[in-house]
Structure 1
Amino acid sequence: MSTTVNEPNDDQVIVRRCANYGPTIWKYEYIQSLNSKYVGEDYEKKAEKLKEEVKTMILEKMESPLEKLELIDTVKRLGVSYHFEEEIKTCLDNIYKDTNWLSGVLDLYDTALRFRLFRKHGYNVSSDVFDKFKDKNGNFKNSLPEDTKGLLSLYEASFHGFEEESILDEAEEFFCETLVWWENLGWSKKLPFLRDRLVECYIWSIAEVYDPRPEFQYCRSMTARITQLITCIDDIYDVYGTLDELELLTDAFIRWDVKLIETLSEYMKICFLGNVNSINELGYESLKEVGVHALPYLIKAWTDLCGCYMKEARWFHGMYVPSFEEYLNNGWMSVAGHVLAIHGYFLFCCDSHRITEKGLEAIKNNHDIIKWSSMILRLVNDLGTSKNEMERGDILKSVQIYMHETDASEEESQEQIKKLIGKAWKKINTSRAKPNCPFDNIYIDIVTNIARASHFMYQYGDAQMRMDIKLKGKTRIVSPCSLLSQFLFPLIDMNYSKSI
């Protein structure tokens, strides 16, 4: 891009480049208005007290070297390690001297954490310390992917390699090949027309299950997987598949029969088999870890979902406009909130969450808390769906159907949808308060959070579909927080900080 200008007092025309930079997004009045409530003598005293407590923890209180290293890593990540430079050096000196790299006590996580922190602080450590995690052929052992925490620690350590150190390059490559489930599934390469939204799906999982305790980590990871699977199946039904192809795919899903793979189009074979294998694996893990045969409930959730997808596909290809009631009766399930809720019931186990016969019966029948949370997800989703998305293959949404049925304006229809969202929240509140509710509070919160998350994800439009909306979402996810709150959190319970 260029522009032509005349310099003052000069007849010569000079052509200068122009970058077309946009104006600043920051209002100076807003910047000037920023302030912190964590100021004054009281907070200064609290900060000093906390600093002394952390110093004591680094040098004395924590007995295990691993716990001390994790604490050092935590305060460095929080950006407050400059308060404890002397204590950190003393602690690292002592641990470095006592470290026996050949010891069987040091697992992959511990070894990689020590390696990274020692190298970061200038200690002499050979990358040969990772040789014990290789097999006789010189490859990293096949069992390592089972240790997700250790593998992630190895990946972080791989960025501290020196020139001529091939083992750390191998470690990075090994991590990328084994840890990311989505890549292993192969859909992003074999089915490039599908949305790759793994990060957005993980944001959904955080919104649903934000408890940092270790027992909820698996639930978040699996919820992200399920959400990505749902997103891909939705793309096939909404956009890519022909009506005949979708009829065959729906029949295969409803019968949950891998033998029917031969009836499917080539692109559908990998999609169907990958989905079935993933859900069967979850069913197996639930049986192994929790002792509950979850698979029939998981399969029913998916067959119900695909049946609803198929109905909407028939509506679209037949140019049929359902009634508002007919649309919502199908739509609260086609938005897949019930799939997330039902899977969530089996994805974690702790003292305050027990799987019961009443609970199983309730999820099978889509209890009111599940139904109305899903209804909110549907309605909020519809408010954020643009006309362009419908032109790409979506059926008419609740706003447009209400307009068609009542001759209301678009604004009036949107207001009606918002009223229905409010009524749905009241139904959830009523169901939560009933004394005979079959669910515990933890699971109730998880299901309710599906509805809460929808308000976040669709406030500016469909954040699963449009990339420009994600830029707004990023500023809301990665937002500034007070230093004091970041500093306090790991001190409240060091056991929690390990899972962050």
Structure 2
Amino acid sequence: MALITFSSLSPSLVSTSTSYQRLIHLPKVLLQMTVRKQCSFVYVSINLSPSSEVISNPPAAQRRLARYHPTVWDSKLIDAFTTQYTYELHGARLERLKQNVAITLLAASTSSTKDTTSTFSMLKLIDSMQRLGVAYHFEKEIQAVLTSLGSSSTASTSSDLHAVALQFQILREHRIPISPDVFNKFTTRDGRFKYSLSKDMEGLLSLYEASHLGMLGEDHVLEEAKSFSAKKLRQLVGTLEGEDGLLKQLVQQSLETPLHWRMQRIEARSFIDIYQKDDSMNMDLLELAQLDYNIVQSVYQREIKELSRWWRDLDFEHKANFSRDRLMENYLWAMGVNYEPQFSNCRIGLTKFVCILTVIDDMYDVYGFLDELELYTRAVYRWNMEAMEKLPEYMKPIYTAMLNFGNEVTDNVFKNNGLSVLPYIKKEWVNLCKSYLVEARWFYYGYTPTLEEYLKNAWTSVGGPGAALHAYLLLPGCNIITKSSLDDSIKHGSQIIYWSSLITRLSDDLATSKAESERGDVAKSIECCMEERGISEEEAQDCINELIYYSWKKINEESSKTAIPKSIVKMSLNMARTAHSIFQHGDGIGTSIGVTKERLISLIANPIPIITQN
């Protein structure tokens, strides 16, 4: 293939017996792939000796600096965060609102058994609860309602496109089987959607959102649904004014980023403003969303203050001043993966992981000499303080922080259930540093990898597998984890973690490769694609965007598999969503002013004014 082989995309995407007939529905960029021997990349295996392909006379050693801007969040500013919306002060009101909304959900689910109109109302209620960020309070109730609903009722009997598409979307989100054939009633004999739907704005919007829950092999319906709805929405959105202003806002948001790809906490903040202008809103649900948002924000403030003290004690501002100082921005990753208040320890631990990873990444990517990076990689293999003795002075505090954090997570898990997870943690740090070393060698020897070579390494170097393992170990339920359950979770979840990591890497590359190329960094996916295929930057970006869309279909496919723990599905989905959000308007980490700063202010610093009932 000109781009990347199936085997490097995924351990189980194809086998050597794959026929051409099974490939005809793949995107154009992927039709050129060559089928090779199936292999597994759960843990990337990298040879520690330089490749014979890239041996040349390396350039003279010269220390590089990326010159990242200083943090815009100093410790005094973080310590000053405060809010009146604590659970201690407002918990009683929150619980009453939860009871009221639960009664509304029960009433809606009871009515839904009677007619399709009531079913549609119940689905709209659940959709609003999810988008407002409060569905986590009602997980069991919602799952029970949707399981009883199944793929029948509205989808099989309704002629309302909005109702059918919404049911398809919500059932898919909750891993309940439903076939895209439910849309056949809206198509002509040649598979095209009927022209009579062209002005059904709400139906088209719902169809567009549902199309992003598609899997491979469903292109005959869902690709046509996406193409048709997107075209019609773009044609119609300019005609929406006045009373249709809310609908216009929803359409514009979806055409920019579909709902399935959005970071949930950012969506909650945005949808609260939209929902309160909706004449059909449920007042209890709106107040619950506003109050819950503010109370959860108080949890975030407490966590970031604790993390600020930890970060200050490491003193990387001085000991590793070549690196990005991005505590708040790295916390955004952790919040994106698990935003609910009960995952406090997970967010704190995951933020520490990303902070240490960022410093090590910058050390390999920019600052370190190759011989120093070889030494550091060998020291990670040894995983003890004695291995630090031969390291350069600037590396020692970084190595110590990595060891201390890994051992801290290990001790906490062992304390809870007597299981030592150090081999798993060590393996992820080894894999991560090996992947960094590969990229450092590519740069040092002036080698541009093929896209296949790049992605085989880059899905690990982006930190996805390591983040997924740490997040899983740090979940509140980790006290019931066993070696068997951990191995099974890693085994069954390896594919969805792979595709999520790939989306994270490709989203990162689309936002950062230009700046990194200008400062002379190793080639990223876009440059690899341009050089390998002899195409323009714009064409290469189109290829990468197609690969992202393809990867989302694989995530959707993996999400439907019941063998994968729900927690891993959720974290993998949310990691990809967070990557889209952070890199949507450029490098939201390296250059963390503008949109990133505004979002952090909204998510952590500023509460929502609460509209109470009269």
From the superposition, tell whether residues 455 and 42 of structure 1 become closer, same or farther in structure 2 (CA, over 3 Å).
closer
Report whether the alignment pairs 1:260 with 2:387: yes
Deviation at 1:271, TM superposition (A): 1.0
% same residue: 37
Contact 2:464 2:500 in 1 (8 A): yes
Contact 2:417 2:479 in 1 (8 A): no
The CA RMSD over aligned residues, in Å, is 3.8
From the superposition, tell whether residues 407 and 296 of structure 1 become closer, same or farther in structure 2 (CA, over 3 Å).
same
How many residues align structurally?
340
Report whether the alignment pairs 1:201 with 2:330: yes
Q: SS of 2:378's equivalent? A: helix
Which blocks of at least 5 consecutive residues in structure 2 are unaligned?
1-240, 247-272
Which blocks of at least 5 consecutive residues in structure 1 are unaligned?
1-29, 55-73, 79-112, 114-147, 156-174, 489-500
Q: SS of 1:384's equivalent? A: helix
Report whether the alignment pairs 1:368 with 2:495: yes
User: Residue 589 of structure 2 corresponds to which residue in structure 1?
Assistant: 464
- Residue by residue, what CA displacement relative to the aligned partner does 1:410-436 show, whole Å, maximum 9, x if unpaired? 11111110111111111112122124x
Return structure 1 stretches of 4+ with deviation > 4 angstroms.
30-37, 39-43, 351-356, 477-484
Q: Which amino acid aligns with 1:426?
A: K
In 2, the alpha carbon distance for the partners of 1:195 and 1:37 equals: 37
User: Residue 139 of structure 1 corresponds to which residue in structure 2?
Assistant: none
From the superposition, tell whether residues 198 and 290 of structure 1 become closer, same or farther in structure 2 (CA, over 3 Å).
farther
Q: Which amino acid aligns with 1:399?
A: I
In 1, the alpha carbon distance for the partners of 2:242 and 2:419 equals: 54
Contact 2:511 2:584 in 1 (8 A): yes
Report whether the alignment pairs 1:395 with 2:522: yes
The counterpart of 1:339, out of the listed 449, 466, 482, is 466
Deviation at 1:292, TM superposition (A): 2.6
Q: SS of 2:512's equivalent? A: coil
User: Residue 260 of structure 2 corresponds to which residue in structure 1?
Assistant: none
In 2, the alpha carbon distance for the partners of 1:228 and 1:297 equals: 19
The counterpart of 1:302, out of the listed 421, 425, 429, is 429
Contact 1:297 1:364 in 2 (8 A): no
In 2, the alpha carbon distance for the partners of 1:224 and 1:152 equals: 14
Report whether the alignment pairs 1:312 with 2:312: no
Report whether the alignment pairs 1:425 with 2:552: yes
In 1, the alpha carbon distance for the partners of 2:286 and 2:469 equals: 42
In 2, the alpha carbon distance for the partners of 1:387 and 1:185 equals: 32
The counterpart of 1:183, out of the listed 307, 312, 337, is 312
Q: SS of 2:568's equivalent? A: helix
Larger radius of gyration: 1
In 2, the alpha carbon distance for the partners of 1:466 and 1:339 equals: 24
Contact 1:239 1:393 in 2 (8 A): no
User: Residue 575 of structure 2 corresponds to which residue in structure 1?
Assistant: 450
Contact 1:376 1:451 in 2 (8 A): yes
User: Residue 475 of structure 1 corresponds to which residue in structure 2?
Assistant: 598
Q: Which amino acid aligns with 1:180?
A: R
In 2, the alpha carbon distance for the partners of 1:250 and 1:39 equals: 55
1:123-162 → structure 2 map (5 Å cutoff)? none
User: Residue 219 of structure 1 corresponds to which residue in structure 2?
Assistant: 346
User: Residue 450 of structure 2 corresponds to which residue in structure 1?
Assistant: 323
Deviation at 1:362, TM superposition (A): 4.5
Contact 2:275 2:286 in 1 (8 A): no
From the superposition, tell whether residues 194 and 179 of structure 1 become closer, same or farther in structure 2 (CA, over 3 Å).
closer
User: Residue 236 of structure 1 corresponds to which residue in structure 2?
Assistant: 363
Q: Which amino acid aligns with 1:217?
A: S
Deviation at 1:379, TM superposition (A): 0.8
- Give the TM-score taking structure 1 as reference length: 0.61
Moved more, 235-244 or 183-192: 183-192
From the superposition, tell whether residues 241 and 353 of structure 1 become closer, same or farther in structure 2 (CA, over 3 Å).
same
Contact 1:352 1:440 in 2 (8 A): no
In 2, the alpha carbon distance for the partners of 1:226 and 1:428 equals: 24
Greater relative contact order (CA < 8 Å, ≥ 6 in sequence): 2
Deviation at 1:442, TM superposition (A): 2.3
User: Residue 440 of structure 1 corresponds to which residue in structure 2?
Assistant: 565
Contact 1:331 1:378 in 2 (8 A): yes
Q: Which amino acid aligns with 2:347?
A: R
The counterpart of 1:210, out of the listed 339, 343, 346, is 339
Deviation at 1:447, TM superposition (A): 2.1
From the superposition, tell whether residues 38 and 274 of structure 1 become closer, same or farther in structure 2 (CA, over 3 Å).
closer
Q: Which amino acid aligns with 2:323?
A: L
Deviation at 1:315, TM superposition (A): 0.4
From the superposition, tell whether residues 454 and 487 of structure 1 become closer, same or farther in structure 2 (CA, over 3 Å).
farther
Contact 2:417 2:480 in 1 (8 A): no
Contact 1:204 1:224 in 2 (8 A): yes
From the superposition, tell whether residues 366 and 325 of structure 1 become closer, same or farther in structure 2 (CA, over 3 Å).
farther
- Residue by residue, what CA displacement relative to the aligned partner does 1:91-120 show, whole Å, maximum 9, x if unpaired? xxxxxxxxxxxxxxxxxxxxxx9xxxxxxx
Contact 2:380 2:430 in 1 (8 A): yes
Q: SS of 2:477's equivalent? A: coil
In 1, the alpha carbon distance for the partners of 2:363 and 2:528 equals: 23
- Give the TM-score taking structure 2 as reference length: 0.50
Q: SS of 2:530's equivalent? A: helix
Q: Which amino acid aligns with 1:475?
A: E
Q: SS of 1:396's equivalent? A: coil
